[in-house]
Amino acid sequence: MRDGPVGELQWLSVAEAAQAIADKELSPVELMKALLDRVAKLDPRLNAFITLDAEAAMAAAKAAEAEAVAGRLRGPLHGVPVGIKDIINVAGLPTTCHSKILTDNVAKADAVCVQKLRGAGAIVMGKLSTHEFAIGGPSFDLPWPPARNPWNTDHHPGGSSSGSGSGVAAGLFPMALGTDTGGSVRNPASCCGIVGLKPTYGLVSRRGVFPLSFTLDHIGPMTRTVADNALMLQAIAGHDALDPGSAATVNGHYAANLDRGVRDLRIGFVRHFHEIDTPAEAEVTAALNHAARALQMEGAEVRDIRLPTLTEFGAVNRVILQSEAWAIHGPWLRERPGDYGQLSRRRLMAGAFMNAGDYVQAQRRRLEMIAEVEAAFRQVDVLLCASSMDPPCRIDRPADIDRTYPRQARTPFNVTGHPALAMLSGLSVDGLPLSVQFVCRYFEESTLFQVARAWERSAGTDKKHPAIV
Amino acid sequence: MSMDKATMELLARRAGLAKALTEFPDDVAAAAKQAADVMSKIKQPTDPAAEPWPPMKAGRGL
C-alpha cells in the first residue's frame, strides 16, 4: 500500500499517520505491526501495558485497511492505534484499575470516550498501567509492576496515567487516554515530555470510567504533539445526557487557532506557585522563565498574576477527593483492606476521618477559589505556571517519591475545573523532561492549544524523543 | 489539628475499619494523620451564606 518511506513509524504523529492512511501511503496493518513489534521489544522494560489486545488490534487494523482501500474512512483517526488507561472500560477486556480488587472485572461495554474514539476510526491496542485506582503512586505490591519512564527506566513516569505517558513517549502508540483527578494526565505528560490535557470539567463524558472523585474527575488526551491533542479532544468531547456532570455545550473546533501565534494574547505568569508556595528546582524555574520570555518574544503580553496558594488548593482537592473516594471504596476497605497496595490503602482510608461538614466546607471554599481564578481571567487570556517542581525521581526511592509527588501545581485546576495542559519545557542536565503548564477559561481549549502550539514551534518540543531502543 | 490514638481508633472503628486497624494499624494511623493535616489547611469562608460547589441553584454551573 505504501510507495515510499513515511518516516519512522513509531514517531509518526496521529495527524501524520491518519493522513498517510487516508492517502493510501500507509497501511494500518503495517503501522500496527510496527508498533506491536516495538511493544514486544520495549514493554518488558516499560510495563506500560496491563492487557495487550494484539489479536483484536491486528484484526481491526486489517478491517481498517480494507475500508481505506475502498475509500471508506470512519473518521479523522482512521486506522490510528490508541492505548487506554485501565480504569476506562473497553468492551470484553478487564478493567482492573491495576488492583487485585478488580482483577476479573471484564467490561461489558466501551466507555463513551472509547466509543467515540472507535467511531472516529481509532484502534484500541490494550489497557495501560495506572496507579492503583488512579491514586497513590508507583507501587511494587500490586498484581502488575508499575510503568517506567522511557527517558530513563530507573525513574518513574508520573501518574496516575503512567502507562499512557510512558507508552506515548516511547513510541508504543501515538495517543492514549488518561484521567485526571488531582493531575493524573498532566503529571505523566510532565514526566515523560509529552502533551497532556485536562479539559474543562464536563467536556468529556465520564460514563464507563471507574470513578475516583465524582466532582474532580476528568478524562483527557495524551499525545506527542499539540495538534494531535486537539484532534483527539475533537473526537472525545461532547455532551452526554447520561453523565450527570456532563456540560450542556456544543463542541468547539479545537484546532481552529493552532497556527495563529500568540500576538496580543495576555498571559498571566503565576510565579508564586513555584517561587514561593512550593519552590521549584532551579532547572524547572529556568525553563519556565525561558518559556515566558519566548512567548513574549512571539508577541504575547506577559504579566505576573496571583491566585490562592498551592497549599490551600491542595488541601481543598484532598478533602473533596478523599471524601468522595471513601464513599466508593469504604465497603472494600472494610472487608478487604489487604487487597489494596499500601500507598492507595493509606490515601483512600483518609476519607474515613473526614466528616460531612469538612466536605461541605471544602466545597464552599472551592466556589470562592473558582471566583478568584475567574477574576484572574478578566485580566488575562491564559495562565502560564509550573506543572511539576522537580524532574521525575528514581522509582525505587519511596522517600523521594513521597517528597516530590505533592510538589506540583496541577490540583488547582481540578478544583476549579478550568482546562489545563502540561507539556515539555526542556530537559534537565540528567536528560529528564521538565514541564510547563498552560490554563485557559472554561471551554476555551482552542486558545490553550494556540499557546501550546506557539511554545511547541518555538522550542521544537515535538521533535524530542527518548533514546530508548 | 492533631488526633490522639484513642480518638483515631474510635473513629476508625465507627467507620467500620476494625479489620484494617488490626491488620494495618500504621496505615490507619497514617490515613488519620493525612486527614487531619489537610483539613487544617483550608480557610473557612467568612460569609455564612457562602455556597458550596456545585451551586445549590438552578442555572449554569461552569
Question: Contact B31/A353, CB-based, under 8 Å?
Answer: yes
The separation between CA A46 and the C-alpha centre of its own chain, rounded to angstroms, equals 17
Phi-psi category of residue A74: left, alpha or beta, with phi > 0 → left and psi -120 to 50 → alpha: alpha
Q: Is it the case that residue A2 has pLDDT exceeding 70?
A: no
Task: Give catalytic residues of A, as residue numbers.
Answer: 85, 160, 184
Give the global pTM: 0.97
Q: What is the pLDDT of residue B62?
A: 53
Note the helical H segments in A47-159: 54-69, 112-119
| Rounded to 5°, angle at Cα A137 from A139 and A388 | 145
CA distance A95 to chain B (A): 25
| pLDDT tens readout for residues A231-250 | 999 999 999 999 999 998 88
CA distance B51 to B56: 7
Quick one: average pLDDT of A116-136?
A: 98
Distance between first and last Cα of chain A: 27
Residue of A277, A364, A444 for testing the chain B interface, max B β-carbons within 10 Å: A364
Residue of chain A nearest B40, judged by CA positions: A315
CA distance A45 to chain B (A): 31
φ, ψ of residue A302 to 5 degrees: the values are -110, 125
Quick one: average pLDDT of A341-364?
A: 97
Q: What is the pLDDT of residue A5?
A: 46
| pLDDT tens readout for residues A421-453 | 999 999 999 999 999 999 999 999 999 999 999
Quick one: average pLDDT of A392-412?
A: 97
β-sheet bridge partners, residue A436: A423
CA distance A411 to A322: 13
Q: What is this model's ipTM?
A: 0.93
- Would you state the torsion angle of the CA atoms of residues A54, A232, A74, A15, taken in this order, to the nearest 10 degrees? -90
A367 vs B20, B41, B53: nearest CB: B53
Question: Contact A349/B23, CB-based, under 8 Å?
Answer: no
Q: What is the pLDDT of residue B59?
A: 53
| pLDDT tens readout for residues B13-52 | 999 999 999 999 999 999 999 999 998 899 988 899 999 9
- For chain B, the residues whose C-beta falls within 8 A of a C-beta of chain A are 3, 8, 11-12, 15-17, 19-20, 23-24, 27-28, 30-32, 34-36, 38-45, 50-55, 61-62
In chain A, how long is the greatest CA-to-CA distance?
A: 66
Residue of B11, B19, B53 for testing the chain A interface, max A β-carbons within 10 Å: B53
Question: Which chain A positions have a beta carbon within 8 Å of B29's beta carbon?
Answer: none
| pLDDT tens readout for residues A257-311 | 999 999 999 999 999 999 999 999 999 999 999 999 999 999 999 999 999 999 9
A212 by DSSP, 3-state: which?
Answer: coil
A337 vs B8, B20, B42: nearest CB: B20
Question: Which chain B positions have a beta carbon within 8 Å of A398's beta carbon?
Answer: none
Annotate A70-108 with b (16+ C-beta within 10 A) or e (fewer).
eeebbbbbbbbbbbbbbbbbbeebbbbbbbbbbeeeebe
Question: Which chain B positions have a beta carbon within 8 Å of A334's beta carbon?
Answer: 15-17, 19-20
The helix (run of H) or strand (run of E) holding residue A126 is: strand A123-128
Q: What is the pLDDT of residue B54?
A: 86
φ, ψ of residue A317 to 5 degrees: the values are -60, -45
